[in-house]
Structure 1
């Protein structure tokens, strides 16, 4: 079958790898925000589609059979476009979204609904490790009474103000290094999104061990879809038939 994977996450890369191994034709779409992404096997489409209608047209024109939304849990617009395009084409769409982190006992996260609420909750004089990506960065940097250590995979286009410093780094991250970073920078608050996954959760363990405050931005509501938490469940949900080469006498 021909499958379009809306990607950009580790789960999307693994899914594409597995589907290609199974003999399916896979195209992964990347938004193009990262200049040197980890590319999955199969074909690549870089850049947007022009909204849900553009995505629907792309699916029809290229003869896709299935659509997988394996983008970031906070990518609301892409998730909405995927659902609308699937409805417009009558195509089966599966959303692969990693489970959210759960708050450990005695961790005492400050759970907030938005970047704006997170920025407002910071006390004056806070030294913040900020790991929220590019979206909403300006909201935090407006707090000139705090200092920020901004960690992102790709440097922002605009230089940071004097009360912020940039770290460009790609996960996975590990607890020992995260502990050293938090201690060495005298961090008082960790601000992050509840992205889930093992590649970036070490910062939470380090924060709990050092008893620093964690401000956790909740996941946004996404439109209803057939949602699964793992690559294996995504493959099962796609209801794939065996490719022609695997069919016939003696197959299996």
Structure 2
């Protein structure tokens, strides 16, 4: 039996390494949103599954005995579909989702349910830095800002529709680099998704240092009954308790 790891986050990379170190037969899957993703230490497929039937076909063809969903906290459609398919098939299934960020002293954060609510919180004439992903740009239409800067890993083919432009850079970023970037553009408002990633915290610390207002987009709701852990260590402990994993461990050496 093989474990399917739905990857695409720094936690997924750390989990993949832990699975490889323990000799757990694993197939990772990347959605293909990034052109040159960081390589994982386990066999990896790229691209979507082609809907529910395509997902089920991969599960059968690869002999998948359990699934860990370690995709981005905002990959709601993937998480819901994975939960529903695994529940229907009776496959052991776990969601690895790190806790969200917490504001501290000196932070100027406002939470918003979505982009529409966030737009209403940004005054006309602001300089806005979007750390919300390249696919989010259409959702910001109607934002009345003096300039908008959207950070992306890969430069999109589509034109930029605001004064400003794409900021092409690959994470992680340290606080000094973030301070320099925000100061160079004169950023007044930073918009982030509540990913909770430790390696994404630098932009929030830089915003605090510069007195920048931060708008945090809340995470989408999880499916009811979804078993979730918040750390790689907890996910690895769950794997060790899987029926097929326990059976392998009991075989004579």
TM-score clears 0.5: yes
SS in 1 for 2:29: strand
Instruction: Please give the alpha-carbon distance, in whole angstroms, between the structure 2 residues aligned to 1:25 and 1:12.
Output: 15
More helix by share: 2
Q: 1:143-179 CA deviation, whole Å, 9 max, x = no partner?
A: 2543111111122230213502111111111111111
Instruction: Please give the alpha-carbon distance, in whole angstroms, between the structure 1 residues aligned to 2:235 and 2:151.
Output: 31
Is the 8 Å Cα contact of residues 132 and 192 (structure 1) preserved in structure 2?
yes
Residue 248 of structure 1 is aligned with which of 230, 239, 252? 252
SS in 2 for 1:199: helix
2:233 pairs with 1:232? yes
Is the 8 Å Cα contact of residues 24 and 243 (structure 1) preserved in structure 2?
no
Partner of 1:17: 17
Is the 8 Å Cα contact of residues 60 and 89 (structure 1) preserved in structure 2?
no
Partner of 1:187: 187
Partner of 2:126: 126
List alignment gaps of at least 5 residues for structure 2.
none
Partner of 1:81: 81
Is the 8 Å Cα contact of residues 68 and 93 (structure 1) preserved in structure 2?
yes
Is the 8 Å Cα contact of residues 52 and 84 (structure 1) preserved in structure 2?
no
Q: TM-score, normalised by structure 2?
A: 0.92
Assess, with a 3 A threshold, how the Cα gap between structure 1 residues 245 and 91 changes in structure 2: closer, same or farther: closer
Task: Measure how far apart 1:117 and its partner are.
Answer: 1.3
Instruction: Please give the alpha-carbon distance, in whole angstroms, between the structure 2 residues aligned to 1:21 and 1:106.
Output: 41
Instruction: Please give the alpha-carbon distance, in whole angstroms, between the structure 1 residues aligned to 2:248 and 2:195.
Output: 38
Task: Measure how far apart 1:244 and its partner are.
Answer: 4.3
SS in 2 for 1:65: strand
Please, what is the CA RMSD of the aligned residues?
1.8
SS in 1 for 2:134: coil
Partner of 2:99: 99
Partner of 2:4: 4
Instruction: Please give the alpha-carbon distance, in whole angstroms, between the structure 1 residues aligned to 2:67 and 2:14.
Output: 16
List alignment gaps of at least 5 residues for structure 1.
none
Q: TM-score, normalised by structure 1?
A: 0.92
Q: 1:102-139 CA deviation, whole Å, 9 max, x = no partner?
A: 11134231111001211222111100111000233122
Instruction: Please give the alpha-carbon distance, in whole angstroms, between the structure 1 residues aligned to 2:133 and 2:119.
Output: 14
2:62 pairs with 1:62? yes
Assess, with a 3 A threshold, how the Cα gap between structure 1 residues 180 and 145 changes in structure 2: closer, same or farther: closer
Q: 1:157-210 CA deviation, whole Å, 9 max, x = no partner?
A: 302135021111111111111111111211111011111111111111111111
Aligned pairs (5 A) from 1:69-218: 69-161=69-161, 163-218=163-218
Is the 8 Å Cα contact of residues 16 and 40 (structure 2) preserved in structure 1?
yes
